[in-house]
């Protein structure tokens, strides 16, 4: 997600801001920019890294004691110089940096266009900035009041910092839903200085006195004085606390590793990927990429899903979901195989390309070939503006934020949520499911972020389980129906994080050979939550127990039957079997993580692996 840094005090501001942006690089970004205020407001920004921005600054006069900088993770508008932050208002007087999503920006933009405003970018940020300017001009009020009025109309999440060329000794900031930390320091002359940032990593080397700004609060820093207010213009008493985290820990949000941080982000990322799309009360799903091409999608003669690795596992689950709900034939292909064989592609075919990075070479080439043969390409991508998102005819972003850990976790569950939304929209349009089933799934999908939060409470017990099984040489992961691809994903996580050989299999396939592997040293992880295959998987567990296999079972709350048969159990919240993979995967992610830690593995950067396989 985006990173913001600002400084106002007596020191040279630009070195502090640029260094601060580098401290935030771990958050993932695609462009960077800086605004300086010294009589005049100057903005430099470009697509690329902070180092690329610094190159453009070489030789320029960067003298200023007020500056703010931004690293952008694109959500609206692809990565480009013009979409980078800071943005400047139409009258040139204001500059703003923003982290978050303004959900009603299209409404605000149309009002402004109607008033004659033009825009230099595709971002929601520029819309909000001109909305603030418009209010200030029309109401004849100050910037602080204009911001307060504007924020009362805004829906979505934001942390923003504003500069006003006419008030060079002031910064105004506000937050709702995205983090903002303010450091209060003293420079070498004992003068108060303020540091603002998305987290404490750009601040901690200057001061440990910080304020964590809360939702719906504004901060006005002027002439060395900080005032904290709410949107009702009431002055609040800031709670200043002492920061006790070290830099490395701050970058990981206090977690020991990015992988664990990202596993624990899943309730929020599941909420974010559904935000603005699912309204379970109204019973509506909004997804422009589907709506604008609904004819092509609902009339598809078949859907071919193309992906690699974990994304391919998401494709397998999507196959079950789409065929059940939409009654459209689905095939799931490894991109690396699809690109080299001579697949039959018909004009009415729809290709769904699933990719976290949007840069996986095999997937890019595979969909390029399909596109040449007339297929319609729909991308389910996490990285906005990535290659696959640009090749696709349409798509939906998963909005899981940057995934730093090499093992994909939060992106996977976000893919499942988005693919479910796509299937539900097509099925609803086709009339291939009842309204009762449709509304029931919307209601259950709405509960998933909270149920994911409950599932994460298993962390400590799964860490204990990991200690028990960390010395296993092999492992089997078994599931049926929707839980079969979950078994594959659990096995992949264990392999790539702990280097233990693991295989995922349909549980019923054991008797066709793999059961020969079973003995009293082999852990067999069953993904066996209550679903239409439940009674069958109970038999499969009995087959393993009869051969002295060690059974670890992921089960639904209250399932005493399997609990009595198993050596260890992981109890997850109940949900519709179609949504169960989202929850059932989480304990398997945690199991792989904790076994990897117990074995001393580098869980964020496993050996031999890259985060994005951009070569074949």
Q: How far is the CB of 419 from ligand AGP (least distance, A)?
A: 13
Dihedral (CA of 279, 283, 288, 290) sign:
positive
Q: Give me the sign of the Cα torsion angle 509, 512, 516, 520.
A: positive
Signed CA dihedral, 504, 506, 510, 512: sign only: negative
Sheet of strand 225-230, all strands in order from the earlier edge strand to the far edge: 87-88, 94-102, 156-164, 170-176, 217-222, 225-230, 235-236
**Shortest distance in whole angstroms from residue 361 CB to ligand AGP:** 9
User: Is 611 among the catalytic positions?
Assistant: yes
Bridge partners of 317, per DSSP, are: none
Cis ω on the peptide bond leading into residue 86 (within 30° of 0)? yes
**Minimum CB distance to ligand AGP smaller for 179 or for 368:** 368
**# residues contacting ligand AGP (CB under 6 A):** 15
CB of 536 to ligand AGP, least distance (A): 29
Q: Alpha helix (H) ranges present in 431-521?
A: 435-455, 459-469, 483-498
Binding status of residue 308 toward ligand AGP by CB under 6 A: yes
Stretch that binds ligand AGP, among 101-109, 128-136, 177-185, 302-310 (CB under 6 A): 302-310
Contact flag: residue 269 with ligand AGP (CB under 6 A): no
Minimum distance, C-beta of residue 363 to ligand AGP, in the bound complex (Å): 5
CB-nearer residue toward ligand AGP: 176 or 495? 495
Which of 227, 294, 345, 613 lies at the binding interface for ligand AGP (CB under 6 A)?
Answer: 613
Looking only at the bridges linking them, the beta strands covering 303-307 and 284-285 are unpaired
Find the part of the chain contacting ligand AGP (CB under 6 A) among 86-94, 238-246, 307-315, 325-333: 307-315
CA–CA gap between residue 481 and residue 486 (Å, rounded)? 9
Site for ligand AGP (CB under 6 A): which residue of 309, 385, 479, 506?
A: 309
Closest CB to ligand AGP: residue number: 309
Indicate the Cα dihedral angle 338, 339, 344, 350, nearest 10°: 80
CB closer to ligand AGP, 210 vs 367: 367
Q: How far is CA 49 from the centre of its chain?
A: 20
Q: What are phi and psi of 570, to 5 degrees?
A: -125, 110
Q: Minimal distance in Å, beta carbon 32 to ligand AGP?
A: 23
Contacting ligand AGP (CB under 6 A), which of 207, 310, 389, 498? 310
Q: Which is nearer to ligand AGP, 38 or 612 (CB)?
A: 612
Of residues 309 and 549, the one with the C-beta less far from ligand AGP: 309
Binding mask 311-340 toward ligand AGP (x if CB under 6 A, else -) reads x-----------------------------
42 Cβ contact list (under 8 Å, min separation 6): 35, 36, 64
Token pair listed for 251: 């970058």
**Based on C-alpha coordinates, what's the Rg of the chain?**
26
Looking up tokens 């990322």, which residue turns up?
A: 269
Within 479-498, the residues that bind ligand AGP by CB under 6 A are: 496
Smaller CB separation from ligand AGP, 81 or 503? 503
The answer to whether 421 and 277 are in contact (CB under 8 A) is yes
What positions carry a catalytic annotation? 2, 611
Query: What residues make contact with ligand AGP under the rule CB under 6 A?
Result: 308-311, 355-357, 360, 363, 406-408, 496, 612-613
């Amino acid at each position: 997600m985006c990173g913001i840094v600002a400084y106002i005090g007596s020191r040279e501001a630009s070195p502090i801001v640029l260094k601060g942006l580098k401290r935030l690089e771990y958050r993932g970004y695609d462009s960077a920019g800086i605004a300086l205020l010294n009589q005049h407001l100057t903005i430099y920004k470009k697509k690329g890294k902070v180092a690329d921005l610094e190159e453009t600054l070489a030789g320029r006069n960067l003298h200023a004691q007020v500056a703010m900088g931004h690293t952008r993770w694109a959500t609206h508008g692809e990565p480009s110089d013009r979409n980078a932050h800071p943005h400047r208002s139409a009258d040139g007087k204001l500059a703003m940096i923003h982290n978050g999503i303004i959900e009603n920006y299209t409404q605000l933009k149309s009002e402004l266009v109607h008033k004659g405003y033009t825009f230099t970018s595709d971002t929601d940020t520029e819309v909000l900035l001109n909305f603030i300017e418009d209010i200030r001009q029309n109401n004849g009020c100050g910037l602080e009041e204009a911001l307060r009025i504007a924020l009362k109309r805004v829906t979505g999440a934001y942390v923003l910092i504003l500069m006003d060329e006419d008030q060079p000794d002031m910064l105004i900031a506000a937050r709702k839903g995205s983090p903002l930390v303010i450091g209060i320091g003293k420079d070498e002359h004992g003068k108060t200085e303020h540091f603002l940032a998305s987290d404490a990593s750009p601040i901690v080397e200057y001061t440990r006195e910080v304020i964590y700004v809360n939702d719906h609060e504004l901060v006005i820093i002027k002439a060395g004085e900080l005032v904290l207010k709410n949107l009702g213009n009431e002055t609040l008493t800031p709670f200043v606390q002492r920061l006790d985290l070290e830099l490395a820990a701050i970058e990981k949000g206090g977690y020991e590793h990015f992988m664990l941080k990202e596993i624990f982000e899943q309730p929020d990322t599941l909420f974010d990927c559904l935000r603005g799309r699912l309204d379970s009360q109204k019973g509506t799903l909004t997804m422009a990429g589907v709506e604008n091409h609904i004819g092509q999608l609902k009339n598809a003669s078949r859907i071919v899903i193309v992906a690699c690795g974990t994304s391919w596992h998401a494709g397998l689950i999507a196959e079950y979901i789409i065929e059940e709900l939409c009654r459209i034939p689905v095939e799931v292909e490894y991109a690396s195989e699809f690109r080299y064989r001579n697949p039959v592609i018909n004009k009415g075919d729809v290709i769904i390309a699933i990719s976290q990075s949007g840069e996986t070479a095999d997937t890019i080439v595979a969909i390029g070939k399909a596109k040449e043969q007339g297929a319609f390409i729909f991308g389910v991508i996490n990285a906005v503006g990535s290659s696959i998102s640009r090749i696709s005819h349409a798509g939906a972003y998963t909005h899981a934020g940057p995934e730093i850990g090499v093992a994909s976790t939060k992106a996977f569950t976000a893919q499942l949520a988005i693919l479910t939304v796509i299937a539900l929209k097509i099925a609803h349009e086709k009339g291939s499911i009842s309204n009762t089933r449709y509304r029931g799934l919307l209601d259950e999908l709405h509960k998933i972020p909270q149920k994911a939060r409950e599932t994460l409470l298993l962390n400590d017990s799964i860490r204990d389980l990991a200690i028990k099984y960390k010395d296993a040489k092999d492992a089997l992961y078994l599931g049926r129906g929707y839980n079969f691809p979950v078994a594959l994903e659990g096995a992949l996580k264990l392999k790539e994080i702990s280097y233990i050989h693991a295989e995922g299999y349909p549980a019923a396939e054991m008797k066709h050979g793999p059961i020969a592997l079973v003995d009293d040293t082999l852990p067999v992880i069953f993904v066996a939550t209550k679903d239409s295959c439940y009674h069958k998987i109970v038999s499969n567990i009995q087959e393993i127990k009869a051969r002295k296999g060690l059974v670890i079972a992921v089960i639904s709350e209250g399932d005493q039957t399997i609990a009595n048969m198993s050596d260890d159990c992981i109890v997850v919240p109940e949900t519709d079997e179609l949504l169960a993979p989202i929850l059932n995967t989480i304990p398997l992610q945690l199991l792989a993580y904790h076994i990897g830690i117990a074995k001393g593995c580098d869980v964020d950067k496993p050996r031999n692996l890259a985060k994005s396989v951009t070569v074949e």
